[in-house]
Structure 1
Amino acid sequence: MEFVVAKEKDLERMCEITKMAKNQLKKMGLDQWQKGYPSREVWIQDIEDGCAYLAVEDGQILGVFAFQTTPDVSYGEINGKWLTDGAYASMHRVCVADESKGRGVAGKMFAQGFLMAGELGFPAVRIDTHPGNIPMQRALEKAGFLACGEIHLKGGCEDGDLRIGFEKIL
């Protein structure tokens, strides 16, 4: 599996995979990603910013994620405690195509995020998920993330929504 920066030509497949993830969350009875986020416009901005990445195997896009190196405003306050203070990278919008689930794609995407963060000198990677998203929580813990506490999203259509913040020290 290789990881490449997403280009405009990849947008349709990225949106398709995102729709699969939204449908899975809906079937689980969760409100996560049910209010219009992540949208096509969010992915377009990520592509323009160069922070959208694809997990590709045999020419097929199996998964997508955003990797960011600027502080996330939602991580400024936590009911709990982050493992580190200061700089961190973050991963967002982690999605795996339905037909690729169970093949370790998410774990490989997390490992890639850790590699990129380490190469850039970040001491840790942060991420968040819905309290009811047990499959993602298991994937995060398997990848070495630790739950640090509760956060509330700031901005956008999910403003104020509760999430669990996770961090992995590199």
Structure 2
Amino acid sequence: MELTFRKANKEDIEVIWEILQQAIARRKAEGSKQWQDGYPNPQVIEKDIDSNAGYVLVNDGKVVGYCALFINDEPAYSNIEGNWLSNGDFVVFHRVAISENYLGKGLAKKMMSFIEEFAINNNIQSIKADTNFDNAGMLAIFNKLGYKFCGEVTFRGTSRKAFEKLLILKN
């Protein structure tokens, strides 16, 4: 499997939306309330791409995963019920989704390693993220990859678990 991680472009929107629709359906089938309110949607993807935040995981030329990456740009994180591990610059990721055809191959963890690489390349040692209380898959990934539970944040009126991982920057 030859994986690359690159910025998404307008030509990727259709396949990204397909991947996100699959993830939305998976959340629903698992009984999760996450992503069951019309978010994310194609306009969110377009906004991600327009702001240079959309990224795709590509296998042999085919888009197999999506996420949005932002630097110091998550207003909800300033109102955490709890405490972050750090107060400096951070990368935040949202909308992590892997194609239905590629589940169970460790690609979500691989995408997370690309996100860590993105942070290190930008000289940032903190990655912050959140997920729904009932997203067992993402909670397991956070646990496996050394993310620490920091408290709760609120998005669109819903409380979510917030996590942070501190990275070691290379000199």
1:99 matches 2:101: yes
* Residue in structure 2 matched with residue 140 of structure 1 by the alignment: 142
* Residue in structure 2 matched with residue 37 of structure 1 by the alignment: 39
1:151 matches 2:153: yes
Paired residues for 1:116-131 under 5 Å: 116-131=118-133
What is the TM-score when the length of structure 2 is the normalising length?
0.93
**C-alpha RMSD over aligned residues:** 1.0
- Partner deviation per Cα, 1:126-155 (whole Å, 9 max, x = no partner): 1100011111100122122111111111xx
Residue ranges of structure 2 left out of the alignment (5+ in a row): none
* Residue in structure 1 matched with residue 61 of structure 2 by the alignment: 59
- Partner deviation per Cα, 1:63-106 (whole Å, 9 max, x = no partner): 10001013301111122211111221101100011111111111
C-alpha distance in 1 between matches for 2:109 and 2:84? 22
* Residue in structure 2 matched with residue 156 of structure 1 by the alignment: none
Secondary structure of 2:124's aligned partner? coil
| Preserved contact between residue 33 and residue 134 of structure 2 (Cα < 8 Å) | no
Secondary structure of 2:79's aligned partner? coil
Q: Which amino acid aligns with 1:25?
A: R
Q: Which amino acid aligns with 1:64?
A: Y
Instruction: Give the superposition deviation at 1:6.
Output: 0.6
Residue ranges of structure 1 left out of the alignment (5+ in a row): 154-158
Given the alignment, which residue of 15, 19, 31 partners 1:13?
A: 15
Given the alignment, which residue of 107, 110, 113 partners 1:111?
A: 113
1:166 matches 2:163: yes
1:4 matches 2:6: yes
| Number of residue-to-residue matches in the alignment | 165
| Preserved contact between residue 150 and residue 163 of structure 2 (Cα < 8 Å) | yes
Instruction: Give the superposition deviation at 1:29.
Output: 1.4
What is the TM-score when the length of structure 1 is the normalising length?
0.94
C-alpha distance in 2 between matches for 1:143 and 1:65? 17
